[in-house]
Amino acid sequence: MKFNEYQYERPNLETFKKEMEELLSLIGTDKDPSIEIEAIQKVFKLQDYIDSMMQLVGIRNSLDTKDAFYEEEQSFLDENSPHIQEMNQKFINKLLESSNRKALEDEFGTYIFDKYEVAKRTFKKEIIPDLQQENKLSTAYSKLLAGAEIEFDGGTYNLSQMSPFTQHKDRDIRHRAQLAVSAWFETEENEIDRIYDEMVKVRHNIAKTLGYDNFVRLAYDRLGRTDYGAKEVKKYREQIYEEVVPYVSELVKRKGKRLGIEELKSYDLALSFLSGNPTPKGDRAWQVNHAKDMYEAMSKETSDFFNFMLDHELLELDAKPGKQGGGYCTFIPEYDSPFIFANFNGTSHDVDVLTHEAGHAFQIFQSKNLLPEYRWPGYEGAEIHSMSMEFLAWPWIDKFFEEDTEKYKFNHLAGAISFLPYGVAVDEFQHGIYEQPNLSKEERKSLWRSIEKKYLPFKDYDDDAFLEKGTFWYRQGHIFGAPFYYIDYTLAQVVAFQYWVQSHDDYEKAFSKYLDLCKLGGSKGFLDLLKSADLKNPFIDGTIKETLIPLKEYLDSIDDTLL
C-alpha cells in the first residue's frame, strides 16, 4: 500500500473507552500474571490503533492546512485527545498498582515503570479542559504560520520559500528579505502574542492544578526526563556559554572576512561564502535518487529502510501553499511505517533535513517491534540518531553538492557548532517565561532580546526594529507547540559530534555502534543510552570543551577564504 491508501477512520471513543475498561479490569488485580500480561499487550495494540489514526490526521492536516476534512478531524482530536489521555492514565495507574509488579518487570523491563512513575504526575481529570485549550492554541499557531503569504520581488511566498532570499549573494536582497519576513510577522504580532499569552497561562494553570510550583518541572515530566532536571540543564547551558559562545564569535569574524563585510548584520549571517552558499545540484527527485544510492551503499539495514520508504511513498518533501512549515518524522504503528515531512527550498537545508529526518525514521524502523513505550527514546535521545545521520552521510555528500562539497562540509560543521548557543538561548528563555508566567508581552520580548545578546552577542538587527525589540522567537515553533523540547537538539548535537569524530577514525565501527544505539530505541533513559553506546555525557563538566577540540582542529585546518 502507498501512504495515500492508508485508511483513516475517526476513532469511536466510546468503543475505545469500553474496550479499555474491560482490559483494565484484568490489570492491577490478584489474577494470574499471565492474564495481566495478555491484557497489557492488548492495551498496547489498542493504543497503537488510536495513535495511528491520530498520526494520519496530524500528517494529512500538516500537508494541507486548508483541507476542510482533516481540519475538522484535527479539531475533533484536539477536543478529545485529553479524554484518550485520561484512559491511558488509568492504565498507567493500574500497572503501577499491580501486585504482580515483579512478573511484569520481568516481562516488560523496569524502565517502563520508571517512565510511568513520572507520567503519573502529569495528569488529572480536572485538567482536561485546559489540555483541550492548549491543543487548540497549538493548532492555531501552526495554521497561522502555514498560511503566511509574503509578497517579495514580484512573487508570493510562504515562510519556507523565503529562505533562499535570506541567504542570497546580493546583500540588498538578503536585507529586504529579512524585512519582508519581519513585516509579515509584525502584521500578526497581536495574534501571536495572544496565542502565546494564553498558552503560558493555561500551562501554568495545568501545573498548579497538578500540584507543581510552575510549568517547568511539569514540562520536564511531560517529556519523560527520568535521569536529569533543570539543575543539570542550567550547568550545561553554562558550559555552552563559556566554551562555545567565544568560539562561535570567532567563526562569525571569519565569516565577515570571507564576505568582505567589516560589521556583519543579522541578514548577513545566513550567507557563508561570497560565491554563494553550497546548494544541492538537482531538484527533489534528483536528491531522493541520490539518497537511495547512498543508503543502499551505507548498509543493508539502511538500504532496506529507504527502499521501504520509497515503495510506500512515505516522503513528502516539497514546499507548497498551505503546507505546515518545518520538518518532522513520525510513525504509524498500524502500517509499521515511518513518515518524513519536509519543505525543500533549494538550499543545503534540503539535504540536511532529508538526512536528519531519515535518521529518525531509520531508528524507528529498527525498533518498531519493541513495546510502544520503547520504540522512541526521549527527544534528546531521538535527536542523536537524526543529527548523527547528517554526519554519517558525509562520505556520499559529494553526490549532492558536487563542486560545493568542501563548502558544504565546512558550513555544516561550523553551523552545527554555531547552533548550540541559539539552542540554549531558547531553553533559557522558556525557563524565564514559565518561572515568571505573569510577564507582559513587552517583558517577554525584552527577556528574549537580553538572552539573545548573552548567547548571540554578534547579532545586530540593523534597521529591523521589529526583531530588535525581541521577536525572533515568534518563528520558533517548538516554543509554542513543544515547550522545553529545544534543548534536546543541542544535547544530541554534542553527542552527534562524537559520531563525527568516530566516523573519521573508523567509519564501519562508528556505523555499527550507531546501528546498535538505534536498535535500543527508547528502552533506556538518556544517560543509560549514552552508557550503552559508550558516549560522553554532555552534562559532565569538561565534555563540551573536550568535544570541541577535534572539531576546531578540522575547521582551523581549512583555508575558508578559498571556498
Contact 269, 252 (CB under 8 A): yes
H or E element that contains 449 = helix 441-455
For residues 47 and 163, membership in a common domain is answered with no
H or E element that contains 332 = strand 328-332
For residues 520 and 474, membership in a common domain is answered with no
Full-model pTM: 0.94
315-318 β-sheet, strand order: 315-318, 337-344, 328-332
d(CA 486, CA 429): 11
Which of these, 522, 422, 412, lies nearest to 479 by C-alpha position? Answer: 422
Q: Which of 453, 481, 509 finishes a domain?
A: 481
d(CA 48, CA 39): 14
Contact 199, 134 (CB under 8 A): yes
For residues 65 and 121, membership in a common domain is answered with yes
For residues 531 and 393, membership in a common domain is answered with yes
CATH of residue 557's domain is: 1.10.1370.30
Can you give the pLDDT of all 563 residues of the chain as single tens digits? 999 999 999 999 999 999 999 999 999 877 799 999 999 999 999 999 999 999 999 999 999 999 999 999 999 999 999 999 999 999 999 999 999 999 999 999 999 999 999 999 999 999 999 999 999 999 999 999 999 999 999 999 999 999 999 999 999 999 999 999 999 999 999 999 999 999 999 999 999 999 999 999 999 999 999 999 999 999 999 999 999 999 999 999 999 999 999 999 999 999 999 999 999 999 999 999 999 999 999 999 999 999 999 999 999 999 998 999 899 999 999 999 999 999 999 999 999 999 999 999 999 999 999 999 999 999 999 999 999 999 999 999 999 999 999 999 999 999 999 999 999 999 999 999 999 999 999 999 999 999 999 999 999 999 999 999 999 999 999 999 999 999 999 999 999 999 999 999 999 999 999 999 999 999 999 999 999 999 999 999 999 999 999 999 999 999 999 99
Cα 302 to chain centroid distance, Å, stands at: 21
Task: Count Cα neighbours of 127 within 13 Å in the Cβ-side half-sphere.
Answer: 25
Q: Which of 481, 512, 535 finishes a domain?
A: 481
Q: Work out how many domains the chain is built from and give that number.
A: 4
**Placement of cell 526526563 in the chain:** 225
For residues 398 and 314, membership in a common domain is answered with yes
For residues 58 and 194, membership in a common domain is answered with no
Instruction: Quote the DSSP letter at residue 146.
Output: H
Cα 153 to chain centroid distance, Å, stands at: 32
Domain of 177 in residue numbering reads as 148-187
For residues 108 and 256, membership in a common domain is answered with no
Look at the alpha carbons of 458, 464, 468, 472 in this order and tell me if their dihedral is positive or negative.
negative
Which of these, 24, 390, 401, 378, lies nearest to 227 by C-alpha position? Answer: 378
Contact 374, 523 (CB under 8 A): yes
| Phi (first) and psi of residue 427, to 5 degrees | -65, -45
Helices (H), ranges, 213-348: 215-222, 230-239, 245-259, 284-298, 300-311
For residues 492 and 404, membership in a common domain is answered with yes
Cα→Cα distances 75→8, 133, 137, Å = 15, 11, 11
Max Cα-Cα span within the chain: 76
Helices (H), ranges, 147-214: 163-166, 171-187, 189-210
**C-alpha cell recorded at residue 351:** 539535504
Collapsed DSSP state (helix, strand, coil) of residue 344: strand
For residues 80 and 164, membership in a common domain is answered with no
Q: Which of 481, 496, 515 finishes a domain?
A: 481
For residues 530 and 387, membership in a common domain is answered with yes
Measured at the CA of 30, the angle between CA 29 and CA 33, to 5 degrees, comes to 90
Contact 496, 390 (CB under 8 A): yes
- Strand runs labelled E in 74-143: none
For residues 404 and 536, membership in a common domain is answered with yes
Which of these, 422, 312, 306, 412, lies nearest to 365 by C-alpha position? Answer: 306
For residues 117 and 153, membership in a common domain is answered with no
